[in-house]
Chain A
Amino acid sequence: MSRLQADHLFKVFGRRPADESDAVRALVAGADRDALREDGVTAAVVDASFVVEPGQIFVVMGLSGSGKSTLLRMLNGLLEPTAGRVLYDGEDLTALSPRALREVRSRRISMVFQHFALFPHRTVLENAGYGLEVQGVPRAERETRAAEALSLCGLAGWEKSWPDELSGGMQQRVGLARALATDADLLLMDESFSALDPLIRRDMQDQLLVLQKKLKKTIVFITHDLNEAMRLGDRIAVMRGGRIVQLGSAEDILVRPADDYVASFIQDVDRSRVLTASAVMTDAEGPADPDAPVVGPDTLLADLCALAAAGPHPVTVRDAGGSTLGVVRKEKLLAVLGGLAAEEVTVGA
């Protein structure tokens, strides 16, 4: 069973509830978002559906105003969907009473914020233990668990400090520790690394991936940075104008962009660090040259380039069992790195 499922979610902001449900009907019938705006109705999220499996990092990518933050806030009930359902382990969150919903937020879903949202009047330890405090965990246990979460995030020894004494990256680690301390299975991360400078951001991304290997949480990660999306996401949803315009793996999106919008989006992505050998290989013609270098299908293009440049032969791609999957030709490698969609490349013999 999937961990989290969004089922035809709509969020419309209007003056009256009646306007909002009218707008949903109009949108279902195919109305345009801009036309609705003239009536003073804002459709923030339109018909969003997706499934997140346990242990997955699901990234929602879009520019500001695309509705990604609104979508995220419907997943834990901070915003009530105008239409549609959110299923968490099969339970419909939209049908819960406010009290039951608070209970779910307290124990089973936690959140990491863009600007960290640490409580300035609490120490680092008290911040990390906040969720546990809400749960009513006794003080001694709370402090132990909060300290564990902090050390997991590399902040051991900073418990007594105050948030404003920490750097941005460290503050966000407190935010992460606060989210991890509650032992919630689902982690919602709202542009969590966007406020950090690029080096720290990379560092945090790496840390998150390391942690994720250990903890196997289910994560929904919001970002406007496609490189970040590609680095982190097992699956990526690209949003535009409130709609999910493409849903797939990083490679799907890079190699087969759903429309011109996505295509223009991916231009700036460093393909060599996202695409792997399997995306650029072609069928081998005849037996492989014994001198040709051999790689696995998961090898990044960045690594492939150096090998390809070293000799005259196409690089052979073999799986773990040793059977040849195909070869990577320099022409195709260059073409894909240059930004052409994989299908457009016809490789001359």
Chain B
Amino acid sequence: MPRLPLGSWVDSSVDWLQAQFAWLFDAVSGGITGLYDGIDAVLSAPQPLLLAGILAVVAWWLRGLATGLVSFAGFALVDSVQLWDEAMATLSLVLVATLVTLVIAVPLGVWAARSKTVSAVLRPVLDFMQTMPAMVYLIPGIIFFGVGVVPGIIATIVFALPPGVRMTELGIRQVDSELVEAAEAFGTTPRNTLLRVQLPLAVPTIMAGVNQVIMLGLSMVVIAGMVGGGGLGGAVYRAIGNVDIGLGFEAGVSIVVLAMYLDRMTGALGRQVSPLGRRALAKARAATAKRRAAQLWAHRPQPVTALVGIVVLALVAGGSGFLGTGSPAGAASGHGKKIGIGYIPWDEGIASTYLWKELLERRGYEVETRQLEAGALYTGLAGGQLDFQTDAWLPVTHAQYLEKYGNKLEDLGSWYGPTSLELTVPSYVKDVKSLADLKGKGDRFKGRIVGIEPSAGMMGILKDKVLKEYGLEGEYEVVDGSTPGMLAELKRASERKEPIVVTLWSPHWAYSAHDLTKLADPKGVWGEGDGVHTLARKGFSEENPEVGAWLKDFQLDEEQLTGLEAQIQKTGKGKEQEAVRTWLDGQPGLAEQLAPQ
């Protein structure tokens, strides 16, 4: 069987598309970003509880008093776990994705319902869109659209489009053919048959499709969070990376609150806009009118009352939103110049990123930070959508990314090091201190070394070199997995005092969380150890000589880094910059030293 170079075809066509249609991608990206920013601005303007009130009135109007109260409680919960801004960002993302999806899906569905050819052509395309793992097209998405919300929204659209199209097609196809014939028999034009008969009768099915689109959109927000989409997805992604079960749960519950709200509201809206649904509602209301208690909980205000309520709350909200504005005047040399920093949610990345955000803002720059998955981070940096990142492990761990994008990046040097890669066991495994000690003890560890993502640089070194050099091949199997999985496994084993070997690296917070032994590497197979480098996009330091110089001179020692990380842990999520400020206050002169005026 000859090797079909499918992958390299795709590779080169991605490059070609990027070169030929950059203007188109920029336009799409600009449009979607504008829409997202607009909706997010509206949702973020009011006080959280006020907006929760508005959303609750909408629920009251569409579903009844009980739903309204529960909605308010749900949103109050989101606010109280301090994920409100994230939730609104996610809501905006889902709304934009849903809007764009419907604008594409409904006409496509109508077209497919009217033409068997279109339907037959669309079907495999939709299958492809729905089953292709999102991560596969996220990276090209970043190449085309840059990091941020856009590739996340695009990925959501790709994933959510198929049910939108299918449900529209189904809805129209299942309209009784005799009704369509009746319309034709009375001389109705095809256009009016669609508008007056088919679409109105298909509304319940189409609304079920809308509902699906929204639910699928919400299920994609975590993936969007990995490419800089932020929001609740970003919070979940960070929680996974740090095995922060509490944050993960809070963010997850917030997603559930949004999902249930949107689900119930679209369901109710479907009944409101569909003529048949309105009839069913009227019947149901007539039935419950007899029971007074049920009547109270099912009470729904007249649309006018609801509208007035919403408008009043919205006016108050708008007013209060504007009162709070007023940004601190930019000081000194930055002159409000915009700088984008990307980071992988690893502790040293978060610490150094927020340190620089604080420092640069003090110097008058406007800084935007984006949390990303490693591949997305490098792609975004190479594409110039990000200015720099502070967490590149070079020359070993991130070598693969440098190999691909090296000529589009600028290395501003190492600010911390050396790091090390190692195999690690819990300290209660007394007799294993070095890699050589592992030999012959495979049974105790069930022959497993718990690894991380198979794509990680250290996994290659482990499988190709370390096992061979220490004669562990055959006795141990390296289990591919993920960093969070490895950390969870380590936690579980530690609690039960079971023997375990994991791949780990320093610096890592796991060393402060558990009592661990780094296995010595007398043969030096793991290599020298990386430095944590700052990488900028090509040309950054030329355009920003001041910041470039600061970053080149950036250094932290172990005490400083662990101190900063500990402060961030202590202050709590979402307040990283506050933690940095507290920490800087305890380090007199450091800010001056890192970013001299």
Contacts and interface: CB of A to CB of B under 8 A. Distances in A.
A78 B184 CA distance: 7
B187 A107 contact: yes
Most B CB contacts (10 A, CB to CB) among A105, A106, A117 go to A117
Interface in B178-198: 178-179, 181-182, 184-189, 192, 197
A113 B181 contact: yes
Interface in A262-321: none
B244 interface: no
A117 B176 contact: yes
A105 B185 contact: yes
Contacts of B184: 78, 105
B201 A120 contact: yes
A135 B188 CA distance: 9
B185 A134 contact: no
A76 B185 contact: yes
Contacts of A162: 279
A110 interface: yes
B200 interface: yes
Contact of A121 (B186, B192, B275): B275
A113 B178 contact: yes
B182 A111 contact: yes
Contacts of A121: 200-201, 274-276
Contact of A115 (B178, B188, B276): B178
Given A78-B184, A105-B184, A162-B279, A117 B189 contact: no
Given A117-B181, A120-B276, A162-B279, A134 B187 contact: yes
Contacts of B176: 115, 117
A110 B279 contact: no
Interface string B191-234: 01000010011000000000000000000000000000000000
Interface in A130-166: 130-131, 134-135, 162
A117 B178 contact: yes
A76 B186 CA distance: 10
B5 to A, nearest CB: 40
Contact of A102 (B178, B189, B200): B189
Contacts of B201: 119-121
A212 interface: no
B519 to A, nearest CB: 73
Contact of B187 (A105, A119, A120, A188): A105
Nearest to A102: B187
B188 A119 contact: no
- Secondary structure at the A interface, as helix, strand, loop or mixed, is mixed
Contacts of A78: 181, 184-185
Interface residues of A, number: 27
Most chain A CB within a 10 A radius of its CB, from B186, B192, B274, B275: B186
Contacts of A107: 187
A182 interface: yes
A103 interface: yes
A106 B181 contact: no
A114 interface: yes
Interface in B80-129: none
Nearest to A162: B279
Chain A CB count within 10 A is highest, among B181, B184, B187, for B187
B422 to A, nearest CB: 69
Interface in B539-590: none
B186 A117 contact: no
A111 B187 CA distance: 11
Interface in B242-291: 274-276, 279
A319 to B, nearest CB: 43
Q: B interface, by DSSP: helix, strand, loop or mixed?
A: helix
Nearest to B188: A134
A162 B184 CA distance: 22
Contacts of A120: 201, 276
A135 B189 CA distance: 11
Nearest to B186: A131
Contacts of B276: 120-121
Nearest to B189: A102
A178 B186 CA distance: 10
Contacts of A105: 184-187
B117 to A, nearest CB: 15
Contacts of B275: 121-122
Nearest to B192: A134
A174 to B, nearest CB: 12
A106 B193 CA distance: 13
A121 B182 CA distance: 14
A102 B187 CA distance: 4
Interface in B509-539: none
Nearest to A122: B275
A119 B185 contact: no
A76 B181 CA distance: 12
A120 B185 CA distance: 17
Contacts of B185: 76, 78, 105, 109-111, 113, 188
Nearest to B275: A121
A178 B181 CA distance: 14
Contact of B186 (A106, A115, A122): A106
A188 B186 CA distance: 11
A6 B252 CA distance: 70
A148 B189 CA distance: 26
Interface string B412-450: 000000000000000000000000000000000000000
A103 B184 CA distance: 11
Interface string A236-266: 0000000000000000000000000000000
Interface in A94-118: 102-107, 109-111, 113-115, 117
A130 to B, nearest CB: 6
A121 B176 CA distance: 13
Nearest to A76: B185
B179 A111 contact: no
A220 B178 CA distance: 18
Contact of A119 (B181, B189, B197): B197
B35 to A, nearest CB: 32
Contacts of A188: 185
Contacts of A119: 179, 182, 197, 201
Contacts of B187: 102-107, 131, 134-135
A130 B192 CA distance: 12
Contact of A113 (B182, B189, B192): B182
Nearest to A131: B186
A120 B188 CA distance: 17
B188 A117 contact: no
Given A117-B176, A121-B276, A162-B279, A134 B186 contact: yes
B176 to A, nearest CB: 7
A189 to B, nearest CB: 11
Contacts of B181: 78, 113, 117
B200 A111 contact: no
Contacts of A115: 176, 178
A88 B231 CA distance: 68
A105 B181 CA distance: 12
A182 B197 CA distance: 19
28 contacts: A78-B185, A102-B187, A102-B189, A104-B187, A105-B184, A105-B186, A106-B186, A106-B188, A107-B187, A109-B185, A111-B185, A111-B186, A113-B178, A113-B185, A115-B178, A117-B179, A117-B181, A117-B182, A119-B179, A119-B197, A119-B201, A120-B201, A121-B275, A130-B186, A134-B186, A134-B187, A178-B186, A182-B186
Closest 7 CB pairs of A and B: A106-B187, A121-B275, A117-B182, A105-B187, A111-B185, A102-B187, A117-B178
Given A106-B187, A162-B279, 20 more contacts: A102-B188, A104-B187, A105-B184, A105-B186, A105-B187, A111-B186, A113-B182, A114-B178, A115-B178, A117-B178, A117-B179, A119-B179, A119-B182, A119-B197, A121-B200, A121-B275, A130-B186, A131-B186, A134-B187, A134-B192
